[in-house]
């Protein structure tokens, strides 16, 4: 009898270890190929492989639309009862869930790691009368409707950054004239031809145009100045705004605790690896790591902050 129980215990342990050491993982990329989430997922797992941290098979699924909520809804459905299912998501998802009335709840998934961030910059035309962020804000406060600002999708991080700037300066958030653009290049075009008084986007979208003198960057939403970039932060100019277009990974709804812990360890190892640091350098991404429960708390705080801004700006009810 004792031998039988010992054998059963060995089988259970072997099954558990097999689950943790799975040689296959499915990765949901809730966007079309070629975008930021797609690149984050594929580059992360490529680096995991090169570093020898995870060398199993990776099956990718791209399913874009509605700020990632379509892909995450599919992920919620298909990840049930499975051990190794991972999805990429980011800051845009938080507001998109509200704006699209999505049934997806981020709290239903297993938080693994926040990986990267790209901070935002506010830029104006080289001929604009604003030499500083404070001067632009004065115009925004005086007549927000006559101060059109362009950026990404409504309710996205660019829109939220503008709303936070308005809140920090005392401008009327509900009267902001925010005009969504198809991409960073379109925003720059609007700034240059005068249809936009300013634009917001990731630094990688605007830097080349600033270097050629087409636009002037007035501030960046990082906590501290970025190395190699002579741009003051919003905070040092008196506006308590810090926001980033962050990206991270979630585990499936039913991911076992042992697997969840193992994936956290893998991404912690990835974050410290030379292979990942090379990816960050090549892609121009900022290292922005946070894992497990700390990441869960961050998601909760972001959800509260972003949804309050969306409500204050009249974007959501």
pLDDT in tens, 241-250: 999 999 999 9
Residue 6 in domain = no
What lies within 8 Å, CB to CB, of 70 at 6+ separation is 30, 63, 64
The answer to whether 289 and 114 have CB atoms below 8 angstroms apart is: yes
Domain that holds residue 179: 119-237
pLDDT tens readout for residues 143-168: 999 999 999 888 889 999 999 999 99
**Domain identity same for 213 and 275:** no
**Domain identity same for 226 and 255:** no
Residue 14 in domain = no
- Environment class of 63 (CB within 10 Å of its CB; exposed 0-12, middle 13-18, buried 19+): middle
**Domain identity same for 136 and 233:** yes
**Domain identity same for 141 and 190:** yes
**Domain identity same for 89 and 150:** no
**Domain identity same for 144 and 229:** yes
Residue 107 in domain = yes
The answer to whether 252 and 110 have CB atoms below 8 angstroms apart is: yes
The answer to whether 187 and 181 have CB atoms below 8 angstroms apart is: yes
Number of domains in the chain: 2
> Low-confidence residues of the chain, pLDDT below 70?
1-22
SS3 at position 106:
helix
Residue 2 in domain = no
| Distance in angstroms (rounded) separating the CA atoms of residues 217 and 208 | 11
The answer to whether 174 and 313 have CB atoms below 8 angstroms apart is: yes
pLDDT value at residue 204: 84
**Domain identity same for 111 and 128:** no
pTM, two decimals, is 0.84
Q: Which CATH number characterizes residue 271's domain?
A: 3.40.190.150
**Domain identity same for 84 and 139:** no
pLDDT value at residue 22: 64
| Distance in angstroms (rounded) separating the CA atoms of residues 283 and 228 | 16
The answer to whether 92 and 67 have CB atoms below 8 angstroms apart is: yes
**Domain identity same for 151 and 179:** yes
pLDDT value at residue 2: 45
| Distance in angstroms (rounded) separating the CA atoms of residues 134 and 129 | 12
Q: Which CATH number characterizes residue 213's domain?
A: 3.40.190.10
**Domain identity same for 105 and 147:** no
| Distance in angstroms (rounded) separating the CA atoms of residues 182 and 199 | 12
Q: Which residue among 217, 237, 257 closes a domain?
A: 237
**Domain identity same for 268 and 163:** no
Residue 35: name the closest of 14, 59, 62 by CA. 62
Widest pairwise Cα distance in the chain: 87
């Amino acid at each position: 009898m004792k031998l039988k129980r010992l054998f059963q215990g060995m089988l259970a342990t072997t099954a558990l270890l097999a689950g943790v050491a799975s040689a296959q993982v499915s990765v949901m990329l809730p966007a079309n190929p070629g975008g930021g989430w797609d690149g984050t997922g594929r580059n992360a797992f490529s680096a995991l492989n090169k570093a020898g941290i995870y060398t199993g098979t990776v099956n990718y699924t791209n399913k874009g639309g509605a700020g990632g909520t379509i892909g995450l809804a599919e992920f919620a459905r298909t990840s049930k009862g499975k051990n190794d299912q991972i999805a990429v998501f980011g800051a845009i998802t938080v507001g998109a869930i509200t704006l699209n009335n999505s049934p997806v709840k981020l709290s239903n998934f297993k938080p693994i790691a926040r990986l990267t961030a790209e901070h935002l910059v506010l830029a104006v035309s080289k001929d604009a009368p604003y030499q500083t962020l404070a001067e632009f804000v004065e115009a925004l406060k005086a007549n927000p409707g006559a101060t059109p600002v362009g950026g990404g999708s409504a309710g996205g991080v660019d829109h939220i950054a503008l709303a936070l700037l308005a809140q920090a300066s005392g401008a009327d958030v509900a009267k902001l004239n925010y005009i969504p653009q198809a991409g960073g290049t379109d925003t720059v075009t609007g700034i240059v031809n005068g249809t936009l008084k300013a634009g917001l986007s990731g630094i990688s979208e605007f830097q080349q145009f600033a270097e050629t003198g087409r636009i002037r960057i007035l501030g960046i939403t990082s906590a501290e100045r970025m190395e190699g970039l002579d741009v003051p932060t919003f905070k040092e100019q008196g506006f308590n705004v810090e926001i980033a277009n962050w990206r991270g990974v979630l585990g499936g709804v039913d991911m076992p605790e042992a697997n969840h812990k193992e994936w956290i360890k893998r991404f912690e190892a990835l974050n410290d690896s030379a292979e990942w640091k090379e990816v960050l350098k090549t892609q121009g991404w900022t290292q922005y790591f946070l894992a497990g429960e700390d990441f869960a708390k961050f998601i909760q705080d972001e959800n509260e902050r972003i949804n309050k801004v969306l409500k204050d700006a009249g974007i959501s009810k």
